[in-house]
Amino acid sequence: MKQPSHLSEKLLQSAFEQDASDIHFYPQKEATTIYFRIHGKRSFYQQIKNPHYNLLLTYFKFTAGMDIGEVRRPQSGTIFHEHSGTSYSLRLSTLPVNQAESLAIRILPQQASLSLDQLFLFPHQYKQIEQWMLHRAGLILLSGPTGSGKTTTLYSLLQAIIQKHAFQTITLEDPIEKTIQDILQVQVNEKAGITYQTGLKAALRHDPDIIMVGEIRDAQTAKFALEAALTGHLVLSTVHAKHTIGTIHRLKEMGFTTIELEQSLIGIASLQLLPVIIGNHSSRRAAIMELLDGTHLELALKDTSLNKQQLSHSFQNLKRKAYAYGFISKHTLQTL
């Protein structure tokens, strides 16, 4: 039987070479199936016998600083890995299932963030958000499902803005996905008493121009982000919502009033990743954004019914435009 370190190195090397964003382990009765998520789609990698998987799981848990004897509750940890001159942060998460443990690994390359023109299908969209960031105070929100590129976009926006302006920038993240020079990054650690709320309070004492809150998860975090935006700081954050109007509903569910949002909210950008056709193959993904600001934002905050299909930045209109330009396939247009 091969050593678990050899098994893990072979597995990770394959994932890196295939540009996988996640590795999923599905333990079954006699064997464990391994899947890679590549360009948003989960694909079969291989199946290994459970004794091999158990050795691999123990090795990963030990390396990530987890309790290898704990199998009854979920755990999480991080491993930093070097391969072919590239650094990776691996976020590990275990989940007890049917007297076994499932493992998921999120792969986060640590090289310089992609430039904004590499991230987005239509350059005018990110340029509009750059205009939002010229405000000295207020709240900018990015929304979308997990894995839609919200944090990657925030990193790229911050790097672009600090190259032009000497802004004091502080981030609060759980976890820190990528280290960025010239930015103060705070790791949220609830076990150590560093929550989003306590971290935000401390960050405000450091005279920041820009604060990035990794995710608005609850009403309390939302309240502190709003207060920071209303007291002269530019605040960027993310929310899990399908689209811009859904983001407003989420905020109101968290206790924001219409007046508070009118006073603080600069704009909302909802992201969706599309597989881009290059040489008749979908070789990468790029983002389109449903943008809401200005008059349309004011109408949406007042609960005025908006026909989203009439907006030039609706997802459906953007996908039609992408198809017309030959960026995406007809299948992508009809299914995503």
Give the residue, 72 or 114, on which the prediction is more confident: 72
Q: What is the percent of the chain with per-residue pLDDT over 70, rounded to a whole number?
A: 94
Can you tell me the distance from the alpha carbon of 70 to that of 197, in angstroms, rounded to the nearest whole number? 30
Provide the 3-class DSSP secondary structure of residue 238: strand
Token digits of residue 51: 């004794």
Q: What is the number of other CB atoms lying within 10 angstroms of the CB of residue 82?
A: 9
Residue 280 has a pLDDT of 64
Task: Supply the angle between the helices 123-132 and 150-164 in degrees, to the nearest 10.
Answer: 60
Residue 201 has a pLDDT of 85
Residue 132 has a pLDDT of 94
The answer to whether the CB of 168 falls within 8 A of the CB of 210 is yes
Give the residue, 283 or 274, on which the prediction is more confident: 274
Residue 113 has a pLDDT of 58
- For residues 18-44, give the mean pLDDT: 91
The DSSP element (H or E) to which 17 belongs, if any, is helix 4-17
Domains and CATH numbers, the chain: 4-109 (3.30.450.90), 116-335 (3.40.50.300)
The answer to whether the CB of 75 falls within 8 A of the CB of 61 is yes
The answer to whether the CB of 154 falls within 8 A of the CB of 160 is no
Give the residue, 201 or 271, on which the prediction is more confident: 271
Provide the 3-class DSSP secondary structure of residue 134: coil
Q: How confident is the model at residue 309 (pLDDT cuts 50, 70, 90)?
A: very low
Inform me whether the pLDDT recorded for 54 exceeds 90: yes
Inform me whether the pLDDT recorded for 164 exceeds 90: no
The chain-wide mean pLDDT, for the chain, equals 87
Phi and psi at residue 144, to the nearest 5°: 155, 170
